[in-house]
Amino acid sequence: MADAPMAASAESPMRQRVEEYVYKLQDNIVAAFEKLDPNAPAFKRDSWTRPQGGAGRSCVFAVPFPPEGAPPPQTVLEKGGVNVSVVHGMLPPPAIKQMRADHSSIPDITTAVPFFAAGLSLVIHPRNPHAPTVHANYRYFEITEEPTEEEKAAGKLGKVIAWWFGGGGDLTPSYLYEEDAVHFHKTIKAACDPHGADVYPTFKKWCDEYFFIPHRGEARGIGGIFFDDLCAEPHKRFADDAKRPRSADEIFAFVKTAGDAFVPSYVPILERRCRTPSTEADRRWQLLRRGRYVEFNLVYDRGTKFGLMTPGARVESILMSLPEVARWEYMSDLGTEAETREAQLMEVLKTPRAWV
């Protein structure tokens, strides 16, 4: 078990407040899944350190591969992970140059500078084909000046040059249940609305655009919210006069509200669908949809690509999002026949819908 961060107050540095929150959120989410299926194996808690700076804790659910002839597992989850990472180190100039495109406050630095990143990322793959996969993450990134020798000696950090928050989450069903989609989006919208009327529609649209597989011409799932580069600067997704969180305190308050909404947005859906009767044909379709999930995560997902390019990357944590089992069929006919449950899903994956 990773050491818990010191209790943070409103006056504490933002990095300390975020670290404390993501560890607390991880505990709450894992506890909710373990309560739902108390006879299943507990999540494995795996604390780790990064040689280049930082640490984290991965909480991963997996069932040992059954011996030959043994019945298949009956757990609610097939695979899942709720991971926290809190890392720091030196950010090279090429990375700084790339980030300046969205953060004009970052100076044109030609030398490496200290960075700090903290966040929670989760992916849950249920066993039942009628229970949807879900993904969510909440993160904070900070760049500081190189501290002076006096600051180093006093254990102080350099001046913050730039900071921003990102995150979001989406629901990826194999079979469409409209009441589930409405519940998921309604809960997320309720978390967003106190922070500005433009927040949910802006982040919902961004999610539909981001979690899209161009070579398939379809979305990965039925959406949720996606946000990035939230800071005090003007944001290209919002009008200048739009009501939205702007200061670090306001954005952090929004991130906490969104994070706290995860369990009520998803766990009731999982509880409702986890024991729905299913067939081998349902399982085949589920595995084909998981194949699409893999395609997006390995080809397009910015977080996966950034993680794999980071020095000292912890590959096991980065690829935790991939399902345990997936399937690809050449020119599969599933999802192409009109008026089938599979075709019903494909319709909303190709044409995003407003659920609330």
Average pLDDT of span 60-66: 90
Predicted local distance difference test score (pLDDT) of residue 179: 98
The set of residues, in sequence order, having a beta carbon less than 8 Å from that of 322 and lying 6+ positions away, is 293, 294, 297, 298
Catalytic residue among 88, 125, 135, 195: 135
Q: Write out pLDDT tens, residues 220-236.
A: 999 999 999 999 989 99
Q: How far apart are CA 324 and CA 297, in angstroms?
A: 14
Query: What pLDDT is recorded for position 38?
Result: 95
User: Is residue 195 annotated as a catalytic residue, yes or no?
Assistant: no
Q: How far is CA 249 from CA 45, 168, 230, 300, 328, in A?
A: 31, 18, 12, 31, 45
Query: What is the rounded CA–CA span in Å between residue 39 and residue 102?
Result: 47
Choose between 334 and 93: higher pLDDT: 334
In sequence order, what are the residues at sequence separation of 6 or more whose Cβ sits closer than 8 angstroms to the Cβ of residue 52? 87, 89, 311, 312
Q: Does 293 have pLDDT greater than 70?
A: yes
CB 157 within 8 A of CB 151: yes
Q: Which amino acid is at 312?
A: G
- The confidence band for 12, taking pLDDT boundaries of 50, 70 and 90, is confident
Query: What is the average per-residue pLDDT within 19-28?
Result: 98
pLDDT tens across 189-219, in order?
A: 999 999 999 999 999 999 999 999 999 999 9
Listing DSSP states for 160-172 in one string gives EEEEEEEEEEEEE
Can you read off the two tokens belonging to residue 9?
């107050």
The three-point CA angle 200-206-212 to 5° equals 135
pLDDT at residue number 350: 96
3-state secondary structure of 48: strand
Tell me the mean pLDDT in the region 139-151: 86
Q: What is the pTM of this model?
A: 0.91
For the chain, percent of residues with pLDDT exceeding 90:
72
pLDDT tens per residue, range 246-267: 999 999 999 999 999 999 999 9
* Residue closest to 85 by CA, chosen among 317, 346, 263: 317
Do the beta carbons of residue 157 and residue 16 sit within 8 Å? Answer: no
pLDDT digits (tens, 9 = 90+) for 296-333: 999 998 778 777 776 677 788 888 889 999 999 999 99
Looking at residue 150, what is its pLDDT?
Answer: 81
Residue 57: pLDDT band by 50, 70, 90 thresholds? very high
Q: Take residue 30 and report the two structure tokens written for it.
A: 């894992």
Find the radius of gyration of the CA atoms of the chain: 21
Specify the CATH class of 14-54+74-350 in words. Answer: alpha beta
